């Protein structure tokens, strides 16, 4: 079903990322597992098998995304599916008490990462005249929750970005 297709997965070492990786690998896609460290990828995928790729990058830095993702697209010749699964969660601060550190962390990882990966993958998909992007938000994006303002706002931004991209 996905034979000859290239699927990129951010947050691939997490539980959902590993399940999505297995789904596409079982359907004969070439899967590119992306996460923030080689050690994390090695722990999640101890038997790293070809033709898949296992690459670390900093999703919060556009330069890192361009370097790693454009390299793999150049090597594999295409990008058919991008699954933006990477994300973070912090709870416990009221909006008026939310630190810049918490705000920046959640928006960088949950939201900017989507912009950064799209900045590399969308041009490739436009050039090949095909492609799909799956952005994972959260139920918390649909309403406000006490002590979760920065998290819900960052995930709501994921939803709005996805709608804007569509």
Q: Determine contact, residues 92/106, Cβ cutoff 8 Å.
A: no
- Alpha-carbon gap, residue 101 to 152, rounded angstroms: 16
Is residue 151 among the annotated active site residues? yes
Output the six-digit token pair for 85.
């699964």
The residue assigned the tokens 């359907």 is 27
Check 36, 54, 145, 151 and give the catalytic one: 151
At a CB cut-off of 8 Å and minimum separation 6, what does 111 contact? 154, 157, 158, 161
Alpha-helical regions (H) of 46-143: 62-76, 100-107, 113-128
**Residues with catalytic roles:** 151
């Amino acid at each position: 079903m996905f034979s000859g297709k290239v699927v990129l997965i951010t947050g691939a070492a997490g539980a959902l990322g590993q399940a999505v990786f297995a789904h596409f690998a079982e359907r004969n896609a070439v899967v590119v597992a992306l996460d923030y460290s080689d050690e994390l990828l090695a722990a999640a995928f101890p038997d790293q098998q070809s033709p898949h790729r296992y690459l670390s990058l900093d999703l919060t830095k556009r330069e890192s995304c361009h370097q790693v993702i454009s390299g793999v697209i150049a090597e594999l010749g295409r990008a058919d599916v991008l699954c933006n699964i990477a994300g973070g969660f912090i709870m416990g601060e009221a909006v008026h008490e939310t630190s810049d550190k918490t705000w920046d962390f959640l928006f960088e990882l949950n939201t900017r990462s989507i912009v950064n990966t799209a900045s590399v993958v969308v041009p490739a998909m436009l050039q090949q005249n095909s492609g799909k992007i799956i952005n994972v938000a959260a139920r918390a994006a649909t309403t406000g929750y006490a002590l979760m303002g920065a998290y819900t706002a960052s995930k709501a931004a994921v939803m709005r970005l996805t709608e804007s991209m569509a």
